[in-house]
A and B are shown apart, each in its own frame.
Chain A
Amino acid sequence: MAIKPECIAMLLAGGQGSRLGILTKSIAKPAVPYGGKYRIIDFPLSNCVNSGIDTVGVLTQYQPLELNDYIGNGQSWDLDRANGGVHILSPYQQIKGTEWYKGTANAIYQNINFIERYDPEYVLILSGDHIYKMDYSKMLDYHKEKNADCTIAMLEVPWEEASRFGLMLVNEDGSISEFEEKPKNPRSNKASMGVYIFTWEKLRAYLIADEAKEGSSNDFGHDVIPAMHEAGERMFAYQFDGYWKDVGTINSLWDANLDLLNPKVDLDLNDDSWKIYSKSPTAPPHYIGSAAKVENSMITEGCEIEGNIDFSVLFANVTVEEGAEVRYSIVMPGTVIKKGAVVQYAIVAEDAVIEPGAVVGESPENMADINDWGVAVVGNGVTVGKGAKVAPKAMVDTDIGGAE
């Protein structure tokens, strides 16, 4: 018998991420591209490997094709293991019928058999929605040291934003005294990151109880954790301080990408001791032409740049022709931006074509009413015709004809 893992991770990757609109029309949120060559799921997966957790179940449900394909056998993250490794867990048919994952807790409940096969001491529950680098092994040490039943990772958010989060009131010894879900008048700024460690025996019992309970939404935040708290289980908060960002909306996804260009932001992807792994495209180094001007930007392999790039993140195999301008934008793999086109304050998804003279997005300074401003989004494979305009805040998922 191989060595039994002490802790395995269950990664909830089934969410649609509906607030990302057309970007998640055909892919699940964790598969959304980020940072030039990554996808969101690279962060929790790399964190697991770097923390020494080598058994990871990835729970998928919404549009899993691209995600399954991307994860493959897990080789990109060194998770192609004989013992453990990465496993894609989709809902499956059982003798009592077929059920979708009804909620986060139900998704884990339906995979109790998977977890039992490894018989771990602890289970780490993660979501595929956040950009952060975190050593889960330190959190596990804390969980053991406190002899906790449940440890919730938390970070201090600015008070003015606190009401958007699930908050915790924490005692001096680190134990949690109270939970508040998105309160109007927050009494705490300690927000849950959606990262939990449970002692498996306890969690197993609560999952079964929750499943049997009528009217439960089968959700960790709403049902399981409050139930454990009420019953007086040992609940602790583990403080994390570092970069953490929920990329659940267009604006936050755009922000999180541009954060990479800000030297003051504490997210170093170049740290050899904590690499973020991804599936790399097979493309030559990128080429910057004689007429090009590139500043404050991130550019990756296969790009051909003849235009001007400022404060932008370009993914693999993007072409920017002479005289084209790309500012404060995210351009995903394979997109072509033709002569004289302008892409600003925008997210352009994969394999789009921006024809000559087209304008995507607008600078907030040029807006008569700042409330009308927002990041413009061009969907996968969309062609924006010659001289056409895409308004700020617009989401375009069908071709736009030329302006003639």
Chain B
Amino acid sequence: MAAKNVLGMIFSNAYDEALPELTALRTMGSIPFAGRYRLIDFPLSNMVNAGIQKVGVITKSNYRSLMDHIGNGKAWDLSRKREGMTILPPYNSTETGAFKDKVDSLYGSIDYLRHADKDLVLCTDCNVVSTIDYDAIIKAHTASNADVTLAYTNGIPPKMRAATELVMDAQGKVTACRGIDCYSSAISYSLKIMVISRTLLERLLHEAHSAGQTSFEQIIASNLQFLNVYGYEVGGFVRVLSSLGSYYEANLALLDRANRNLLFDPERPVFTKVRDEVPAVYGLNARVSNSLIADGCKIEGEVENSILFRGVTVAKGAKIKDSILMQNTYIGENVSLASVILDKSVVVKPNKMLCGAQNYPVYVGKGIVI
């Protein structure tokens, strides 16, 4: 398997600022998603399903929830004597401090890269939700004799910092990377998933570090004429989380069976931490339609077009519509909720009403009692 020779690197904090509400107390990688997952489950499971056996997870801040979630990597079979998963928190030396950006954080982990004993490195962020066949990207990279392969998808690009359009020739060779100024038509935009040879990565990092460059994407873009950079198109269910609105949309999109079948392919399971919850229990007058419900939920009210994470309680007479309720939220009797996102352990006391709009969901922070 080609992937045996690949080191996986995951940036758990990249684009934290795109979702300030959800990352106030956690990393991008530990944002809850789709009822029982955290965002890092998708790249980690993609790596494991491709046969990648050595993975470094780079973090810089708020990473307690991330460490709690991934632990020693057991849930992904990455708790190994040989290889396995390593968390790479900021490493203070005279030259590096708290990681400011990707170049900094990769440079801070350069010893880890060097000692990984792999020819290729696959780098990814956590804000792309998709079941991607990394093995196919690695094979394409080798087949095209590329220096760098960038994964992209075709569609309306996300509105976020450093979004990049890839311009390619007929062979898929990238001829230009450019910023995006139009968000109304479909283009090929980068998913910031990259396969690169380890020695080239090290060299580019040394150069960038001494030149004071901070954006890794820019280094690639400015070296296009010297490097063989190829694009690899990713299809299927792809969502780039760039705002609270896109987070809301990406979750609710999974109520569509076609999307669910694309993201949850039984051949490529998405692994996550086990919580040992009981199955969900439906009470006498429960009315649930078009919703995803996780284990540990207790439902006696009405739930429609919503996603309930593990351990949510919905009391009698409560009505929930178009909402995302995270782990252990408690909804009291006769509460009415529409278009809301409740973070973990929120309590809504009886008879309260909370209503957002479909294009602007109301967000309630972790542990708040209403």
Residue ranges of A at the interface with B (Cβ–Cβ < 8 Å): 35-37, 75-76, 261, 269-270, 275-278, 280, 282-301, 304, 309, 313-314
**What residue in chain A is nearest B36 (Cβ atoms)?**
A285
Chain B 274-308 residues near chain A, CB threshold 8 A: 274, 276-296, 298, 307-308
Chain B 308-351 residues near chain A, CB threshold 8 A: 308
**What residue in chain A is nearest B305 (Cβ atoms)?**
A290
| A286 contact from B271, B281, B293, Cβ within 8 A | B293
| B282:A301 contact, CB within 8 angstroms | no
**What residue in chain B is nearest A279 (Cβ atoms)?**
B274
Give Cα distance in the complex from A80 to B175, angstroms.
53
A285 contacts across to B, CB distance below 8 A: 34-36, 292-295, 307-308
B296 contacts across to A, CB distance below 8 A: 270
| A295:B286 contact, CB within 8 angstroms | yes
A295 contacts across to B, CB distance below 8 A: 282-286
A261 contacts across to B, CB distance below 8 A: 281
The answer to whether B74 has its CB under 8 Å from any CB of chain A is yes
The answer to whether B252 has its CB under 8 Å from any CB of chain A is no
Tell me if A's interface is mostly helix, strand, loop or mixed: loop
> Given the interface contacts A294-B282, A294-B288, does A275 sit within 8 Å of B264 by beta carbon?
no
The answer to whether B270 has its CB under 8 Å from any CB of chain A is yes
Chain B 347-367 residues near chain A, CB threshold 8 A: none
Q: What would be 10 A-B contacts, judged by CB atoms less than 8 Å apart?
A: A270-B278, A282-B270, A282-B271, A283-B269, A285-B295, A288-B291, A288-B293, A289-B289, A297-B282, A298-B281
A290 contacts across to B, CB distance below 8 A: 289-290
Q: How far is the CB of B329 from chain A (nearest CB, A)?
A: 15
| A288:B288 contact, CB within 8 angstroms | yes
A278-B276, A284-B270, A287-B292 given; 20 more Cβ-contact pairs under 8 Å: A35-B278, A35-B279, A36-B279, A275-B276, A276-B278, A277-B276, A284-B36, A285-B34, A285-B35, A286-B293, A287-B291, A288-B289, A288-B290, A290-B289, A292-B288, A294-B282, A295-B282, A299-B280, A300-B279, A301-B279
> Given the interface contacts A288-B288, A294-B286, A294-B288, does A280 sit within 8 Å of B36 by beta carbon?
no
A276 contacts across to B, CB distance below 8 A: 276, 278
> Given the interface contacts A37-B295, A75-B74, does A300 sit within 8 Å of B284 by beta carbon?
no
Most chain B Cβ neighbours within 10 Å, of A75, A291, A295, A297 = A295
| B269:A282 contact, CB within 8 angstroms | yes
B284 contacts across to A, CB distance below 8 A: 295-296
The answer to whether B220 has its CB under 8 Å from any CB of chain A is no
**What residue in chain B is nearest A261 (Cβ atoms)?**
B281
| A301 contact from B288, B294, B307, Cβ within 8 A | B294
Give Cα distance in the complex from A309 to B280, angstroms.
13
| A287:B282 contact, CB within 8 angstroms | no
Number of inter-chain CB pairs below 8 Å: 101
**What residue in chain B is nearest A309 (Cβ atoms)?**
B282
Which 8 pairs of residues, A with B, have the shortest CB-CB distance? A285-B35, A36-B279, A300-B279, A285-B294, A269-B278, A282-B269, A298-B279, A288-B288
> Given the interface contacts A296-B283, A300-B295, does A287 sit within 8 Å of B260 by beta carbon?
yes
A286 contacts across to B, CB distance below 8 A: 280, 292-294
| A289:B293 contact, CB within 8 angstroms | no
Q: How far is the CB of A284 from chain B (nearest CB, A)?
A: 5
Q: How far is the CB of B147 from chain A (nearest CB, A)?
A: 36
Most chain A Cβ neighbours within 10 Å, of B74, B272, B276, B307 = B276
Q: Give 1 or 0 for each of B247-273: 1 = CB within 8 Å of chain A CB.
A: 000000001010010011000011110
Give Cα distance in the complex from A277 to B290, angstroms.
30
Give Cα distance in the complex from A36 to B295, angstroms.
10
| B276:A292 contact, CB within 8 angstroms | no
B270 contacts across to A, CB distance below 8 A: 282, 284
Give Cα distance in the complex from A292 to B255, angstroms.
14
Give Cα distance in the complex from A276 to B278, angstroms.
8
A292 contacts across to B, CB distance below 8 A: 288-289
Most chain B Cβ neighbours within 10 Å, of A75, A276, A282, A298 = A282
**What residue in chain B is nearest A302 (Cβ atoms)?**
B264
**What residue in chain A is nearest B74 (Cβ atoms)?**
A75
Give Cα distance in the complex from A295 to B255, angstroms.
20
A298 contacts across to B, CB distance below 8 A: 278-282
Q: How far is the CB of B319 from chain A (nearest CB, A)?
A: 15
| B289:A280 contact, CB within 8 angstroms | no
**What residue in chain A is nearest B310 (Cβ atoms)?**
A285
B272 contacts across to A, CB distance below 8 A: 282
Most chain A Cβ neighbours within 10 Å, of B255, B278, B284, B296 = B278
Q: Give 1 or 0 for each of B20-37: 1 = CB within 8 Å of chain A CB.
A: 000000000000001110
| B290:A289 contact, CB within 8 angstroms | yes
| B286:A284 contact, CB within 8 angstroms | no
Q: How far is the CB of A200 from chain B (nearest CB, A)?
A: 32
**What residue in chain B is nearest A317 (Cβ atoms)?**
B266
**What residue in chain A is nearest B286 (Cβ atoms)?**
A295
Give Cα distance in the complex from A301 to B36, angstroms.
10
A291 contacts across to B, CB distance below 8 A: 289
**What residue in chain A is nearest B290 (Cβ atoms)?**
A290
A36 contacts across to B, CB distance below 8 A: 278-279
Give Cα distance in the complex from A276 to B289, angstroms.
29
| A284:B282 contact, CB within 8 angstroms | no
Give Cα distance in the complex from A15 to B367, angstroms.
48
Give Cα distance in the complex from A138 to B295, angstroms.
31
Q: How far is the CB of A14 from chain B (nearest CB, A)?
A: 27
| B282:A299 contact, CB within 8 angstroms | yes
> Given the interface contacts A75-B74, A284-B34, A285-B34, does A299 sit within 8 Å of B286 by beta carbon?
no
| A299:B278 contact, CB within 8 angstroms | no
| B279:A299 contact, CB within 8 angstroms | yes
Q: How far is the CB of B275 from chain A (nearest CB, A)?
A: 8
Q: How far is the CB of B291 from chain A (nearest CB, A)?
A: 5
**What residue in chain A is nearest B271 (Cβ atoms)?**
A282
| A287:B274 contact, CB within 8 angstroms | no
A275 contacts across to B, CB distance below 8 A: 276
**What residue in chain B is nearest A296 (Cβ atoms)?**
B284
Give Cα distance in the complex from A282 to B44, angstroms.
14
